[in-house]
Amino acid sequence: MIGSMFGVICGGVAWFVLRYVIFGFYTVDQGERAVKTSFGRAIRLGDNTTLSLPIAEALSESDRERYEYPQLVVMQPGGPYFKWPWQRVHKVSVATETLNMAYDPETPSANDGGTLLAAVTKDQLNIGLTGQIRYRISEQNLYAYLFGIKRPIVHVLGYFVAILRERIANFEGNSGTPAAQSDVGEGLADGISINDLRKNLNAINDFMEIECAGSEARYGVVFDASLITGIDPPSHVDSALAAINTAHNHVSSEISLAQATADQTIVQSKRAVEIETLKAQAEVEPLLSMARQLAQLRQKGPEVLAAYRRNVRLKLFSKATNVILEGSNNG
């Protein structure tokens, strides 16, 4: 009896050592981070919170009160690490992942099976958006990702889509700026918001990155990039939009040609004025030079100027074939 009880005790001790001591060691792979909880409470990094980190700069004052999360002790890749039976290890991948922006984790069949995101422009035109988003889990805010939200990816995608649809609904082209008003061709497409959206895809992507910068402090997810690659109008307006674009391109071409012709005419006119000015200056310059010479001779005395006049007259007489002299009244 005593031997059997001893065997049971030894077996229990061996099971405990095998289950909770030997199997209590764990490692963290490359591209992973891990945090431990003791009795369900995450091991924290003192009293530090995410509000002391640079990621909180993107939050407004009201959001700073809502999204204050503690900083956790994060296990880096490597090991082996050890956990006690009352502790649990939570591992997450911090590698960058790509996701279709139209994907709905709660309803995969939505948005045409996660391929086309619907939105409405300012001129009440229903359009479809295609593209991807790149994201990764923030190592600095694992508390928000693991414990702050039940399904972080759902919240992040909803946050992204809400901002994108608001931007599309309120987007206006830059034709109202002074620089654009000087360009006659740009003003012809006013009101065609889908053209403005297509021309400003890079600006929209940059706007989304700036507006979504707070997702790291909110949900523990970092947007690495927003890549909106296509904006498609409804099929029933596609042909009309193509005709409008064709007409716009034709008018822009005619305006550009007229401007080029006008610029060429202006350049030719300026050149003709310059040539005539140079001719006039060439004709006036000898007269001005002679006037300066006569002024200098006059300063030397009236007899010098008279001698100069006599020499000029003699030179003219030598070249003349006939000379007519004024007659005298004295018989």
pLDDT of residue 85: 81
Contact 223, 206 (CB under 8 A): no
Give me 155's structure tokens.
């919240």
CA separation (Å) from 256 to 165, 242, 245, 317? 36, 21, 16, 65
Pairing of strands 221-232, 97-100: unpaired
User: For the whole model, what pTM was predicted?
Assistant: 0.59
Give me 12's structure tokens.
């229990």
Cα distance between residue 313 and residue 307, in whole Å: 10
Phi then psi for 94, rounded to 5 degrees? -105, 15
pLDDT of residue 296: 78
φ/ψ bin of 220: left (φ > 0), alpha (ψ from -120 to 50), beta (otherwise): left
pLDDT of residue 190: 47
Nearest CA to 139 out of 209, 83, 222 is that of: 222
pLDDT of residue 70: 92
Contact 73, 44 (CB under 8 A): yes
Q: What is the DSSP letter of 75?
A: B
pLDDT of residue 233: 72
Cα distance between residue 145 and residue 203, in whole Å: 29
Exposure pattern of 258-281 as b/e (b: 16+ CB <10 Å)?
eeeeeeeeeeeeeeeeeeeeeeee
Give me 45's structure tokens.
């990094």
Element (H, E) at 206: helix 201-211
Per-residue pLDDT in tens (0 to 9) along the chain, 331 residues:
565 666 667 666 665 655 666 667 888 888 899 999 999 899 998 889 998 889 888 888 888 888 889 999 998 998 788 888 888 999 999 898 888 888 888 888 888 888 888 888 887 778 888 888 888 998 989 998 999 888 888 888 888 888 888 888 888 765 444 333 334 334 334 445 677 788 888 888 888 888 888 888 888 888 887 788 888 776 555 565 666 667 777 788 888 888 888 888 898 888 888 888 888 888 888 878 878 877 777 777 777 777 777 777 777 777 777 767 666 555 4
Cα distance between residue 16 and residue 260, in whole Å: 89
Q: Which residue has the tokens 């764990």?
A: 26
| Burial classification of residue 217, based on how many CB atoms lie within 10 Å of its CB (0-12 exposed, 13-18 middle, 19 or more buried) | buried
| Burial classification of residue 153, based on how many CB atoms lie within 10 Å of its CB (0-12 exposed, 13-18 middle, 19 or more buried) | middle
Between CA 72 and CA 125, with CA 105 as vertex, the angle to 5 degrees is 120
